[in-house]
Structure 1
Amino acid sequence: MNDDYDPAETSGFAEAELLTFSAFVDGELPEHERLEVLGRLAADARAASLVAAYRAQQAALRALCDTPSGAGGAARPYLVLRVRKPWWQRVAIAACWVAAGAGLAVLVGSLSPRLAWQPSQMAFAERADIAYAVYAPEKRHPVEVAAAEEEHLIAWLSKRLNRPLSVPSLQEYGYALVGGRLLPGDAAGPAAQFMYQDGSGARLTLYVTAIPKDETAFRLFRDGNRRTFYWVSDHMGYALSGQLSEERLRAIAIDVCSALGGRPDVWR
């Protein structure tokens, strides 16, 4: 019998990589290593999905156990890694997981729709947040195609996503289009990122990708001082990311949703 926990989603990753992902989620990596992981996640959809699953697991168990956050606002992650432990620890952990699983089933069943989450949607919001963290600070190469070639940019990304895209204007909020780029997605296909910037240099990004399952929910994903409002409309996932206040970013996201043909009135 194998004493190590080896979930299918971790297959193909070395133990050192899993430990690095764990430290990344826990906020324990040095800055240069954290940036390296961000770059890896922006280019590797499978790694990004794994990290998203780890964070989702952490959030669910934190809600179950009511685990307080640390001084830096980040709670310890409950991640299962392929690290061998003494037999008595493995038995204790197994018992805890049985109890947690039973409690988690009750918890998930009692959560309101507002707090519910779908793994695939959490994953695309995670990828949008990572893409913002990687490319928004870029000075020389924030986009692949600049706003001066907006017509070409839209045609190119529409072709790659196999869906007609449009770029909403954020001029009334003081943000001008910088340009956009193509990003790796998941099994549903690649993603597009459009970047905006205001007069002070602050940036917002709009992430767009295909989503097999449609719904009308509107949710917030937060990582540190970065916020991402994300929603699904007509089998397309949209995520607006930035470092604005939650209230202001939500207002902009509602207008963006309307401009793209969504129905924000159903979740206002």
Structure 2
Amino acid sequence: MESTQGLPLEVRLSAYLDGQLPQAEMEEINAILAEDDEAREVYEKLKLGSEFGARAFDRMLQEPIPLDLVRNIKEAGKNDDESPKLGFADIPVAALPASRRSAFWPQALAASLVIFLAGGAAGYLISEQKQTSFRVANNQFAPARTWLDDIADYHRIYSRQTRHLVEVPASEQQHIVEWLSASTGVSFALPDLSAQKLTFEGARLLVAGGKPTAQLLYRDAENEIFAICFLQSEPVDGSTELAESMRNDIGLVSWQKGNASYVVVGPSADPDLERIAEAVSESI
């Protein structure tokens, strides 16, 4: 262990944090930390940065090795096997470095100080800003999930059901209207979509976007399932225009009216989905 006497406080505290000081100097730093508030503040910042850097490094080590890197390493190994190997005796004398006095300690100390201070500062700054950076990154690259994402997931599951397609059958239409109106806070009338060649099958109560959501289910002549879903939302004047979107194989046409948000869901390949949504928006 080497002494750091005469070096900046940050360097001495860094070496103290790593346990790289002689016992006498460790006791000296203990006394400084006990009496000096500013020294304690610097120490806590260095400690926080060091811990965050260690965690980040551990996470990096746990990441799977890219296949391209593995292939490159294997290829390099093959090339090394094919190239001739030179022993120490094969190296010309002129190629050997001339003997000189070691300047290791001053150079190593200078290099380690630069690296350590840069790493400690980076770790501290990252730890100070990691929460903000995480939120910014999420906002830029991971759009917030909406209630329509929940609806698409539900439809993908329930549209494949046969015996358990609905929770309440179509024969109980009055109960469905009363039940779902009370549960969602949205007054509605059951749309008659027989003109669109859709047969009402029944209803379910879901949770989408953290709110109780009604799901009315219909079947066409090809046995494809369509759904009308709605939940209570911030009131709007009149109604908004129909907006089409897709979630893989699921097509959605959504809009708002009064205090509710609505969506018609069906196969994304169906050309009549918007026409069905127009009929629903006029009758529900």
* Structure 1 counterpart SS, 2:146: helix
* Structure 2 counterpart SS, 1:245: coil
Residue of structure 1 aligned with 2:274, choices 241, 250, 263? 250
Q: Name the CA shift for 1:3/1:256 in 2 (closer, same or farther; >3 Å).
A: farther
Greater Cα shift, 146-155 or 122-131? 122-131
Show the counterpart of 1:192.
214
Q: Name the CA shift for 1:163/1:225 in 2 (closer, same or farther; >3 Å).
A: closer
Show the counterpart of 2:229.
207
Residue of structure 1 aligned with 2:252, choices 220, 225, 228? 228
Measure how far apart 1:213 and its partner are: 4.8
Structure 2 residue runs of 5 or longer lacking an equivalent are: 1-47, 54-122
- Give matches, 1:30-41, under 5 Å: none
Show the counterpart of 1:237.
261
Q: Name the CA shift for 1:244/1:3 in 2 (closer, same or farther; >3 Å).
A: same
Measure how far apart 1:163 and its partner are: 2.8
Structure 1 residue runs of 5 or longer lacking an equivalent are: 5-86, 105-117, 261-268
Partners of 1:217 and 1:123 in 2: how far apart? Answer: 18
Q: Is the Cα–Cα contact under 8 Å of residues 151 and 208 in structure 2 kept in the other structure? A: no
Partners of 1:137 and 1:246 in 2: how far apart? Answer: 17
Structure that is richer in helix per residue: 2
Asked if residue 161 in structure 1 is aligned to residue 174 in structure 2, the reply is: no
Partners of 1:178 and 1:3 in 2: how far apart? Answer: 56
Q: Name the CA shift for 1:244/1:172 in 2 (closer, same or farther; >3 Å).
A: farther
* Structure 2 counterpart SS, 1:212: coil
The number of residue pairs the alignment matches comes to 158
Greater Cα shift, 138-147 or 123-132? 123-132
Measure how far apart 1:244 and its partner are: 4.7
> Alpha-carbon deviations, 1:174-204, whole Å to 9, x = none?
11000001112345x4110000001221110
Q: Is the Cα–Cα contact under 8 Å of residues 227 and 244 in structure 1 kept in the other structure? A: yes
Q: Is the Cα–Cα contact under 8 Å of residues 125 and 221 in structure 1 kept in the other structure? A: no
**Matched residue type, 1:126:** D
- Identical positions, percent: 20
Partners of 1:244 and 1:207 in 2: how far apart? Answer: 16
The TM-score with structure 1 as length reference comes to 0.51
Partners of 2:226 and 2:209 in 1: how far apart? Answer: 23
Partners of 2:203 and 2:194 in 1: how far apart? Answer: 17
> Alpha-carbon deviations, 1:207-237, whole Å to 9, x = none?
1101125361422221112101111110201
Q: Is the Cα–Cα contact under 8 Å of residues 149 and 247 in structure 2 kept in the other structure? A: no
Greater RCO, CA 8 A, separation 6+: 1
* Structure 1 counterpart SS, 2:171: helix
Q: Is the Cα–Cα contact under 8 Å of residues 232 and 261 in structure 2 kept in the other structure? A: yes
Partners of 2:181 and 2:52 in 1: how far apart? Answer: 48
- Give matches, 1:46-57, under 5 Å: none
* Structure 2 counterpart SS, 1:133: helix
**Matched residue type, 1:251:** R
**Matched residue type, 2:183:** R
Residue of structure 1 aligned with 2:159, choices 124, 131, 136? 136
**Matched residue type, 1:182:** L
Partners of 1:181 and 1:3 in 2: how far apart? Answer: 48
Measure how far apart 1:140 and its partner are: 1.2
